[in-house]
Amino acid sequence: MRRDEQRAILIEAATTAWRPQSPSGELRPHPAWSDLDSAGRLEVYEATRVARRMEAASDPEGLSSTARAVLARLRAGR
Amino acid sequence: MTVEQVRLPDLDEHLPRILEGEVEAFGSWMAGAEPRLRDSLRSFAILVDVEGVVQETALRIWQTAPRFVADGRENGLLRLAIRVARNLAVSELRRYRVEPMEIDALEREARAYDPTASGVLRVPDPLLARRIKDCLERLPRQPGRAIAARVGSGGMEPDEALAEGLGMRKNTFLQNVTRARKLVADCLARHGVDLAVELS
């Protein structure tokens, strides 16, 4: 796989709202985000920003996947 | 113009129901607060995983809301959330042993963010929502399945599990999500919607 393809895959992987949890339950950085350089991390930030607003815009309750992840954790007792 | 600009509403209107433990009310608060919270963390984006900080902040705000004391100004809970988010980001920087001077500079930049400075909040209109849905429905099968699974999981499943559920390899799944985003953006552009501008 070419380097730019690998980088694009890392950026896409890090735009998900899923995050791993530490043993104490705290959310930790996405492994793909940790593997990116500064420019890649900024791309993740901007791509996520647009993606979440698009998700919220098309959601009947105006919720993004970030909001849905938080609400699911609250309903599950964190 | 596909989005309407309105004055930032007072999200504290959801507080009474949040204090009664209504998760749905907290969702309504989050729908308005999340974009501002994310924007407030921009200066940290190179060194801190902002998505995790936004979610962790929201979880902590839910826990601390019962002790929240309003100061008489609008959007008190949002202003508290922005402070909590900033502190969490700074804690992460300290954990990564970032130079104190660099932390100070990033924190100063973040402090300059004022969620009410512009006085407007962009809210999507029904036409935009319909256009996005139309564009999603027109996606080729595999990109359509991939992005539907990603959004539908609501951030509760890792991509490995989503890819497996669709019978795709993880990298193929991610390439399909990227392709879906690009095709939706192109489709919206053909309808005169520039996502980067309209949703920024």
- CA A58 to chain centroid, in Å, comes to 18
Helix/strand/coil percent split, chain A, to 5: 60, 5, 35
**CB nearest A78 (choices: B59, B178, B181):** B59
**CB nearest A19 (choices: B55, B58, B196):** B55
The whole-number pLDDT of residue B121 equals: 47
Distance, CA of B190 to CA of B143 (rounded, Å) = 19
Phi/psi at B6 (5° precision): -130, 165
B 134-193 → A contacts, CB under 8 A: 136, 150-151, 153-159, 171, 174-175, 177-178, 181, 184
The whole-number pLDDT of residue B98 equals: 87
Closest CA of chain B from A49, distance in Å = 7
The whole-number pLDDT of residue B119 equals: 42
CATH number of B125-198: 1.10.10
pTM for the predicted model, two decimal places: 0.92
Is the CB of A48 less than 8 angstroms away from the CB of B150?
A: no
ipTM of the complex: 0.96
Q: In terms of CA atoms, which chain B residue is nearest residue A52?
A: B35
Closest CA of chain A from B84, distance in Å = 15
The whole-number pLDDT of residue B2 equals: 43
Classified as helix, coil or strand, B114 is coil
B134-157 per-position pLDDT tens digit: 999 999 999 999 999 999 999 999
Residues of B in contact with A50 (CB under 8 A): 195-196, 199-200
Residue A7 has pLDDT above 80, yes or no: yes
Contact status, residue A27 vs residue A36, Cβ threshold 8 Å: no
Distance, CA of B186 to CA of B135 (rounded, Å) = 9
Residues of B in contact with A1 (CB under 8 A): 171
**CB nearest A16 (choices: B54, B128, B150):** B150
B69-116 per-position pLDDT tens digit: 889 899 999 999 999 999 999 999 999 898 999 999 999 989 888 877
Contact status, residue B41 vs residue B48, Cβ threshold 8 Å: yes
Residues of B in contact with A63 (CB under 8 A): 27, 30-31
The whole-number pLDDT of residue B7 equals: 65
Question: Which of the 8 DSSP states describes residue B156?
Answer: -
Could you tell me which of B159, B106, B123 has the C-alpha nearest to residue B36? B123
Contact status, residue A17 vs residue B154, Cβ threshold 8 Å: yes
| Confidence band, pLDDT 50/70/90 cuts, at residue B196 | low
